[in-house]
Amino acid sequence: MLKNSNNKNDENNLDLDAISTLFNRDGFVLIENFLPTTMIDELLIETKNLVEQFDPQQTLNNDNEEVTIFSAGQKQSTNEYFLGSGDKIRYFLEQDAWDEKNNSLRVPKINSLNKIGHALHWLNPVFKRFTFQQRFQNIVRSIGFEDPLVVQSMVIFKNPRIGTEVPDHQDATFLYSTPDPRVMGVWLPLQDATETNGCLQFIPGSHRTHPLQKRWIRHLDPIDGRVYMEYVHRDWYSIPGNNHHIDSDEKELLNKSKFISVPASKGSCLLIDGLVVHRSDPNLSDKARPAYTFHIFDQGFVHDKYDDDERKILEHQSTTTSKPKPKPKRQWNPFNWIQPTDQYSFPRLYRNGHDDDNDYDGVSSDFK
């Protein structure tokens, strides 16, 4: 864990080298006092506005099926409401919030949601302004992301007594880039996240020791033309030099009691490697644990050791006329559930006023 010096929320005080070192060592890093709590309050107010606009009845009626309930299981895997939410702001209920018999909410609306997603960072001006501020660019750059794109964003509610567990997972199961999963989550508690209300838990270093053996893959049904998702178990990726298959018993052993809780106070920021194993408990307390999170992938060049060596040799031989061959760029995997569309491409995190987003010029430096 890193404490921003003097509790000043001053981005200039950040020890970017230490952030990068801890992130590479553990697969996550908590930066305390990263943002002024007043900035988080703006997100809380906007979240409340969004919840007020939510009409569960209307959403259900429009789609004529039980579409809004969030579950990592079957229901979600074929439904358009979820799979079509990549370029929208949509609401997902907690499993126990909806009373099917009476076709109504079982709990007050304010406590009923599991999450809102997945394009808050683009479609909501408050979240957009927040996401593209300079301080996120600085820390992501310090970790070595060359050209990150924001692929999704969510408010995760973890509401009191109803907020469900998030089982252990690696984000790369859901968000994969090719040829390697260079994906990061940025996670910000909107209230203090503690061991009692379901803070995140990690297996430190598991991004190096746990190969990626499960991906959530998009298929098109040739018969009815519908998109559906399924988990496919394979040796998808392991970091070079650590390519042994882990069978499920071994995995169980690796996971058991290896998790550490990472309480995070309002104003702090957690960076999460796409391969690190993490989870969170259900919220059995009477305190909410809302969080805003967005995920990025680095479409920068794919480097390997050979490239680096070759570059160094060519630089050294300054008389040579040959140039290093162009490196391939990393691609968003077409089998991921979330995809850009004809109308919407994933926005770049490092925007500079010269790229395609004229409506948003200058925001990254203004918003501090």
Q: Where are the alpha helices (DSSP H) in the chain?
A: 16-26, 37-53, 56-63, 74-78, 80-83, 120-123, 125-131, 134-142, 206-209, 248-255, 305-316, 363-366
* Subset of 264-283 contacting ligand AKG (CB under 6 A): 278, 280
Q: What binding mask, one character per residue, do residues 144-163 give for ligand AKG by CB under 6 A, x or -?
A: ------------x-x-----
Which candidate, 311, 309, 267, places its Cα nearest to that of 292? 267
Point out which residues pair with 193 in neighbouring strands: 264
Which residue has the CB atom at the shortest distance from ligand AKG? 280
The distance of closest approach from Cβ of residue 314 to ligand AKG in the complex, given in angstroms and rounded to an integer, is 40
Q: Nearer Cβ to ligand AKG, position 31 or 156?
A: 156
The distance of closest approach from Cβ of residue 70 to ligand AKG in the complex, given in angstroms and rounded to an integer, is 12
Angle 122-20-280 from CA coordinates, rounded to 5°: 65
Instruction: Look at strands 227-237 and 104-105 and give their pairing.
Output: unpaired
Q: Note whether 181 binds ligand AKG by CB under 6 A.
A: no
Contacting ligand AKG (CB under 6 A), which of 27, 181, 185, 274?
185
Q: Note whether 166 binds ligand AKG by CB under 6 A.
A: yes
Q: Nearer Cβ to ligand AKG, position 108 or 167?
A: 167
Contacting ligand AKG (CB under 6 A), which of 293, 299, 333, 364?
293
Q: Nearer Cβ to ligand AKG, position 289 or 330?
A: 289
Q: Where are the alpha helices (DSSP H) in 132-230?
A: 134-142, 206-209
* Subset of 27-56 contacting ligand AKG (CB under 6 A): none
* Subset of 190-229 contacting ligand AKG (CB under 6 A): 200
The distance of closest approach from Cβ of residue 78 to ligand AKG in the complex, given in angstroms and rounded to an integer, is 22
Q: Where are the beta strands (DSSP E) in 78-226?
A: 89-93, 98-99, 104-105, 113-118, 148-156, 166-169, 177-178, 183-189, 200-202, 212-220
Residue 101 three-state SS: coil
Contacting ligand AKG (CB under 6 A), which of 171, 180, 273, 298?
171
Size of the site for ligand AKG (CB under 6 A): 11
Instruction: Look at strands 331-332 and 104-105 and give their pairing.
Output: unpaired
Report the C-alpha gap between 249 and 168 in whole angstroms. Answer: 15
Which candidate, 129, 109, 128, places its Cα nearest to that of 120? 128
Q: Note whether 118 binds ligand AKG by CB under 6 A.
A: no
Q: Nearer Cβ to ligand AKG, position 56 or 198?
A: 198
The distance of closest approach from Cβ of residue 163 to ligand AKG in the complex, given in angstroms and rounded to an integer, is 8
Residues 6 or more apart in contact with residue 144 via CB below 8 angstroms: 20
Binding site for ligand AKG (CB under 6 A): 156, 158, 166, 171, 185, 187, 200, 278, 280, 291, 293
